[in-house]
A and B are shown apart, each in its own frame.
Chain A
Amino acid sequence: MEALLHQIFAGLASGSIYASIGLALVMIYRSTHHLNFAQGEMATFSTFIAWWLIEGGWPYWGVFVFTVAVSFAGGVLLQRLVLRPLEKAPVLTNVIVFIGLLVIFNALSGWLFDYTIKAFRSPFPRDAFYASRFLSAHEVGAMVVMLCVLAALYLFFRFSSLGLAMRAAAQNPESARLVGIRVSWMLAIGWGLAAAIGAVAGMMVAPIVFLDPGMMAGILLYGFASALLGGIDNPWGAVVGGLIVGVLENLLGAYIIGTELKLTVALLLIVAILTLKPDGLFGRTTVSRV
């Protein structure tokens, strides 16, 4: 029983990380109708930057804030420079560009920081008061951090003018322009936010799985599964989806399939969701006009 609870709680902890990647993916999808296949590699690269600074002696939380800010700026720049000219191009052209970005970021990570596995510090001391039988201090800390991120995003989108403008731009770009919203910049900010969320997720996950250029590949897949499960255009769905995926992954891995085939679990999940319930649990069914 205790082992089962442990698996469930651990699943929730990793699930919160999948949820945030899923959220980043949903954000970009809602505004651009594209899936950013490079999201994982971008997050890994951000995490490497953080690692490098921490190794250089800078204080953890300062590095944390700095990395998030730099990632945000990077995401904005990426949208402005690389993606904006292709806004009207066919889906596959954008997919190829995402693949190109994926490859570039992966290569940059390996080139600048080499391919050996690195340990990444956790800011949460092992013997903290909130560590327990079921969850390590870092797992608790990571969950709290991700919850804070999600709460901040919710407040931002729900109550701030910029958040409202972004929602409007994503839902109805033409009407948004008619009220004076610079839709292009809204997309850029969306990319920036997604990159920033990815950076946070990367820094939270690195202490658990260790840092190397391939760190995020599997997690990206779980992020996709989370986003799909919740309905690809539903941010809350991504959160719930992530938690479910995390728990499922742990339970299936521990009791049924074994840890070697974890990615296969992700694959089967994705295919099953897409086949049985393509709109996810909370997505809106799209009706296509003939």
Chain B
Amino acid sequence: MSSITNPAGAMPAAPDTEADAVTATAAPRRAWRAWAGVALLLLVLLLLPFLLKNYRVFQLTLVLVYAIAVLGLNLLTGYNGQISLGHGAFYALGAYIAAILMDRYAIPYWGTLPAAFLACLVLGFLMGFPALRLGGLHLALATFALAVAMPQMLKWKGIEHMTGGVQGIVLAKPEPPFDFSLFGVELGADRWLFMFTLGIAALMFWLAANLVRGRIGRALVAIRDHPIAASAMGINLAIFKSLTFGISAAYTGVAGALGGIAVAFVAPDSFPAFLSLSLLVGAVVGGLGTIWGAVFGAVFIQFVPNIAEGVSKSAPAAIYGICLIGLMYLAPTGVMGILRKVFERLRRR
């Protein structure tokens, strides 16, 4: 499964189309079950915040934020085979755009999201063009350089008046638009933000799922696995790959904006190179080339560092690193890969 064109060894997205063709009659029943499952999940997620403390809700909000960010990266790296080690830059950009609009221009928090999306879409699309000439490792390297240089760029005195320099920008947490309580617990800022982020996340996941299941998704995978053949069949590689870069960046940018709003603070040192690496880790651990993998990946990057701290107070990052390496040995196709194997084994019985 290893090749230059599919550097991630991502799982083929074929199963969806095969299933559609073979089980035409079973499709409506399966779709109904899928929808029911998602509805149930959403219901649980809506009730859950009222059963948890504020801080836990905040952590769950961050999981949703990372899920959107990782999904963006997955579109680029998993489905389209372009490795990016610099997506933290788009995350930072989205966060700063939200912060500047909210702080300097008094734009409401929800208004910043389209701005972050558009800005990162355009920037990502533009970055897609030089990226066209860079294969696998070279692109990884260039984006890695972006990730490492980002904090320094954000601290630049030339734009300090906008970015707040090293100290960054402090934001106010958005209050819920109406009063509400359930099980005796107030809605409050944290829970409202969770709901809001959940809504955005659901929307973006649904859009992405539709995108990859259709012709565009197949085109993406074709470009990833057989670029020359794809090009020979009329897919305009340049446009497609750059668009993918743009959309991927836009997703991560929106995540960044949401993240900045949730944390209520942006500063250059909040977006170190490690963030970009974490996003990639999340994408691989969750399962490249899958939609739901982004959620598992987000859970990993949010909670495993905390767990690592529990294991070793003095060197939690070392535990994190060991986990990473161990996972590459045991589950190189990520959580989704393992789940797929388990389901297949159950189905065969």
Which A residues form the contact surface with B (CB < 8 A)? 33-35, 37, 82, 85-86, 88-93, 95-97, 99-104, 106-108, 110-111, 217-218, 221, 224-225, 228, 260-264, 266-267, 270-271, 274-275, 278, 288, 290
Contact of A264 among B2, B4, B149, B316 (CB under 8 A): B149
**One of B6, B8, B142 near A271 (C-beta < 8 A):** B142
B96 CB, min distance to chain A CBs, angstroms: 16
Question: Given A100-B322, A103-B320, are A264 and B281 neighbors across the interface (CB < 8 Å)?
Answer: no
Of B4, B146, B148, B273, most buried by chain A (CB within 10 Å of CB) is B148
Q: Decide: A90 near B1, CB < 8 A? Known: A96-B324, A104-B317, A278-B138.
A: yes
Chain A residues contacting B8 (CB-CB under 8 Å) are: 90-92
- Return chain B residues, CB-CB under 8 Å to A260: 152, 155-157
Answer whether A217 and B1 are a contact pair too, CB < 8 Å, given A96-B328, A100-B328, A101-B325.
no
The smallest beta-carbon distance between A235 and chain B, in angstroms, is: 18
Q: Give the contacts of B140-193 with A (CB-CB under 8 A).
A: 140-142, 144-146, 148-149, 152-153, 155-157
Please give me the residue from chain B that is nearest to A34 by CB atom. B137
- Kindly state whether residue B252 has any CB partner on chain A within 8 Å: no
Contact of A91 among B137, B156, B228, B281 (CB under 8 A): B137
> What CA separation (Å) do A95 and B4 show in the bound complex?
14
With a CB–CB cut-off of 8 A, which chain A residues contact B327? 96
Q: Are A91 and B141 in contact (CB under 8 A)?
A: no
B332 interface contact, C-beta 8 A: yes
Contacts of A266 in B (CB 8 A): 145, 148-149
Residues of chain B with a CB closer than 8 A to A271's CB: 130, 142, 145-146
- In Å, the complex CA distance between A107 and B1 comes to 33
B contact residues around A290 at 8 Å (CB): 228
A230 to B323, CA, bound (A): 35
Q: Contact residues of B with A, CB < 8 Å?
A: 1-4, 6-9, 77, 83, 85, 130, 133-134, 136-138, 140-142, 144-146, 148-149, 152-153, 155-157, 228, 273-274, 277, 280-281, 284, 288, 314-318, 320-325, 327-329, 332
With a cutoff of 8 Å between Cβ atoms, the chain A residues found around residue B321 in the complex are 99-104, 107
Contact partners of A263 in chain B: CB under 8 A:
148-149, 152-153
Give the one of A90, A92, A95, A228 with max B CB within 10 A: A92
Q: Which residue of B lies closest to A35 (CB)?
A: B137
Per a CB cutoff under 8 Å, which of B138, B315, B322, B323 touches A111? Answer: B315
List of A residues within 8 angstroms of B140 by Cβ? 35, 95
Chain B residues within an 8 Å CB radius of A100: 320-325, 328
B316 touches A107 (CB 8 A): yes
CA distance A40 to B149 in the complex (A): 16
Q: Residue on B with the closest CB to A225?
A: B145
Give every chain A residue within 8 A of B9 (Cβ-Cβ): 89-93
- Taking a contact as CB atoms under 8 Å apart, the answer to whether A93 and B142 are in contact is no
Chain A nearest Cβ from B31, distance in angstroms = 32
A103 surroundings in chain B (CB, below 8 A): 274, 277, 317-318, 320-321, 324
Identify the interface centre among A86, A90, A97, A261: most chain B CB within 10 Å of its CB.
A90
Task: Give Cα distance in the complex from A264 to B133, angstroms.
Answer: 21
Q: Is the CB of B2 within 8 A of A88?
A: yes
Give the 9 A-B residue pairs with the shortest CB-CB distance, closest first.
A90-B9, A104-B321, A107-B317, A100-B324, A103-B321, A111-B315, A91-B7, A107-B318, A267-B149
In the assembled complex, 8 residue pairs joining A and B whose CB atoms fall closer than 8 Å, in A order, are A35-B141, A93-B328, A95-B83, A104-B321, A224-B145, A263-B148, A264-B149, A275-B130
Q: Which residue of chain A lies nearest to B308 when distances are taken between CB atoms in the complex?
A: A107
Q: For the complex, what is the distance from the CA of A137 to the CA of B316, rounded to whole Å?
A: 40
Residues of B within 8 Å of A37, CB to CB, are: 144
**Chain B residue with the shortest CB-CB distance to A260:** B156
CA distance A278 to B132 in the complex (A): 11
